[in-house]
């Protein structure tokens, strides 16, 4: 019997090694990794340039706490600020912590800097913002909330891409709107341009902060550094994690200069966030993406993958839709996809679900066209086999 709590629905394989776009289990079986640790290992498994920087840091200093100035943390903050519309950064350990920090910052800024007793944050159905009490309350999926009541007040959830419902939800308590530009776990659902424009207008009219959750979409996943850059907006707070550290636990928020007063000494903190080891991994990840032109590669490989999946969809009525941006692709099916994920895994290809009926494909940015061709061909074979099996019953 395992000594671990049984809170993960684990797959029946043990991954022991990774190299580039491939993973290997304890029997030596090879898998094409189209999961990337859920959008984490974006530069492939054990990327050489990041490995070299981390190894160098391992010989120098692992941790010294945020009581001290940390030069590599400052360098990483400067880099993130240069890539966004923000001015200041705060580092933590995960996406949930980044979103928690954003929630606290929005309330603190509104109440202590603006002097207004507003605290509610509007979020959206099918969103996913984390597993802390505040972030699971912000999440627009009831399944993550069962058994954790009473939940903290201060969150209002409205239908995604419904501008009228959003406008009706804004009231005298509202301090911020929080959304994913493309919902990941909720089904790979992009925000409509008109919906985002209405959000922008409401934030301006009611002096609301705009928080964009880029935990899964950020660090190049959609073909731009951040998904909000596909839209005509400038968020007040951007949250990120996953791909930031190439597998090292790391999260961050980047925010506008006006928010700095709300996060003075003692207002918020973390023991491990942004320590030298994690910051070196984050900085090396961003530098490698810059030096090696990965954003362009994400655009090209993402477009190629979408074309191949759309070709498959034309020949297979079980596929309802293909959607996404860059290398964040959802394939909506007519039936539950759990069986498909298991069959693809048996064939040596790792995919995810995003809700019951959507296949989520999150390859490393190093994915090759030949690997895409093979994965799509195997998916076609699995779908054809399922169709034949259903017809024979």
Q: How far apart are CA 356 and CA 359, in angstroms?
A: 9
Q: pLDDT, tens digit, for every residue of 135-163?
A: 999 999 999 999 999 999 999 999 999 99
Assign 201 to helix, strand or coil: helix
- The torsion angles phi and psi of 48, rounded to 5 degrees, stand at -60, -45
DSSP state, residue 231: T
Which residue is it, tokens 């007519």?
334
The boundaries of every CATH 3.40.640.10 domain in the chain are: 48-291
Q: Where do runs of H (alpha helix) occur along 109-143?
A: 133-138
pLDDT computed for residue 385 by the predictor: 84
Q: How far apart are CA 128 and CA 66, in angstroms?
A: 29
Length of the chain: 393
Please report the DSSP string for 304-367 in residue order.
HHHHHHHHHHHT-TTEEEEEEETTEEEEEESS-SHHHHHHHHHTTEE-EESSTTEEEE---TT-
Q: How far apart are CA 302 and CA 300, in angstroms?
A: 5
Of 27, 7, 31, 6, whose CA–CA distance to 18 is shortest?
31
pLDDT computed for residue 27 by the predictor: 98
Q: How far apart are CA 84 and CA 236, in angstroms?
A: 11
pLDDT computed for residue 393 by the predictor: 64
Provide the phi-psi class of 265: left if phi over 0, else alpha when psi is between -120 and 50, else beta: beta
Write out the chain's pLDDT in tens, 393 residues: 899 999 999 999 999 999 999 999 999 999 999 999 999 999 999 999 999 999 999 999 999 999 999 999 999 999 999 999 999 999 999 999 999 999 999 999 999 999 999 999 999 999 999 999 999 999 999 999 999 999 999 999 999 999 999 999 999 999 999 999 999 999 999 999 999 999 999 999 999 999 999 999 999 999 999 999 999 999 999 999 999 999 999 999 999 999 999 999 999 999 999 999 999 999 999 999 999 999 999 999 999 999 999 999 999 999 999 999 999 999 999 999 999 999 999 999 999 999 899 999 999 999 999 999 999 999 999 999 877 666 666
- Per the CB < 8 A criterion, the answer to whether 348 and 281 are in contact is no
Q: Is the peptide bond before 150 cis (omega within 30 degrees of 0)?
A: yes
pLDDT computed for residue 12 by the predictor: 94
379, two tokens:
């998916």
Q: How far apart are CA 386 and CA 19, in angstroms?
A: 32
Q: How far apart are CA 291 and CA 241, in angstroms?
A: 21
pTM over 0.75: yes
pLDDT computed for residue 389 by the predictor: 65
Sorted by sequence, the CB contacts under 8 Å of residue 201 that are 6+ apart come out as: none
Fold classification of 15-33+294-391 is 3.90.1150
Q: pLDDT, tens digit, for every residue of 45-96?
A: 999 999 999 999 999 999 999 999 999 999 999 999 999 999 999 999 999 9
Q: How far apart are CA 213 and CA 294, in angstroms?
A: 22
- Per the CB < 8 A criterion, the answer to whether 361 and 305 are in contact is yes
Fold classification of 48-291 is 3.40.640
Please report the DSSP string for 33-85 in residue order.
ESSHHHHT-TT-BS-HHHHHHHHHHHTT-S---TTS--HHHHHHHHHHHHHSS
Provide the phi-psi class of 182: left if phi over 0, else alpha when psi is between -120 and 50, else beta: beta
Assign 9 to helix, strand or coil: coil
Assign 210 to helix, strand or coil: strand
The boundaries of every CATH 3.90.1150.10 domain in the chain are: 15-33+294-391
Q: How far apart are CA 56 and CA 288, in angstroms?
A: 16
């Amino acid at each position: 019997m395992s000594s671990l709590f049984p809170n993960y629905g684990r797959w029946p394989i043990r991954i022991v090694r990774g190299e580039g776009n491939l993973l290997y289990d304890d029997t030596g079986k090879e898998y094409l990794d189209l999961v990337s640790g859920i959008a984490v290992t974006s530069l492939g498994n054990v990327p050489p340039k990041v490995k070299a920087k981390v190894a160098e840091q391992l010989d120098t200093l692992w941790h010294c706490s945020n009581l001290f100035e940390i030069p590599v943390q400052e360098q990483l903050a400067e880099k993130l600020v240069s890539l966004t519309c923000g001015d200041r950064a705060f580092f933590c350990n995960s996406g949930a912590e980044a979103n928690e920090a954003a929630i606290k910052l929005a309330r603190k800024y509104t109440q202590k800097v603006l002097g207004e007793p507003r605290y509610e944050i509007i979020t959206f159905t099918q969103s996913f913002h984390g597993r802390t009490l505040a972030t699971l309350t912000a999440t627009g999926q009831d399944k993550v909330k069962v058994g954790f009541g009473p939940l903290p007040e201060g969150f209002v959830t409205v239908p995604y891409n419904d501008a009228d419902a959003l406008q009706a939800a804004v009231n005298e308590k509202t301090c911020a709107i929080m959304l994913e530009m493309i919902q990941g776990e909720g089904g790979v659902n992009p925000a409509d341009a008109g919906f985002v424009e209405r959000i922008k207008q409401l934030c301006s009219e009611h002096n609301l902060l705009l928080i964009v959750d880029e935990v899964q979409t950020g660090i190049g996943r959609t073909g731009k550094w951040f998904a909000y850059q596909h839209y005509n907006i400038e968020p007040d707070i951007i949250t990120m994690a996953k791909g930031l550290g190439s597998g090292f636990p790391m999260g961050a928020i980047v925010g506008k200069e006006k928010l700095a007063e709300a996060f003075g000494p003692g207002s918020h903190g973390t023991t491990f966030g942004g320590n030298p080891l994690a910051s070196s991994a984050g900085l090396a990840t961003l530098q490698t993406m810059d030096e090696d032109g990965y954003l362009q590669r994400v655009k090209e490989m993402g477009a190629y993958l979408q074309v191949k999946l759309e070709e498959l969809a034309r020949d297979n009525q079980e596929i309802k839709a293909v959607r996404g941006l860059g290398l964040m692709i959802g394939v909506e099916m007519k039936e539950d996809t759990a069986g498909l994920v298991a069959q693809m895994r048996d064939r040596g290809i790792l995919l995810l679900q995003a809700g019951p009926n959507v296949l989520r494909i999150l390859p490393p940015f190093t994915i090759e066209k030949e690997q895409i061709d093979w994965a799509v061909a195997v998916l076609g074979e699995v779908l054809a086999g399922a169709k034949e099996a259903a017809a024979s019953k």
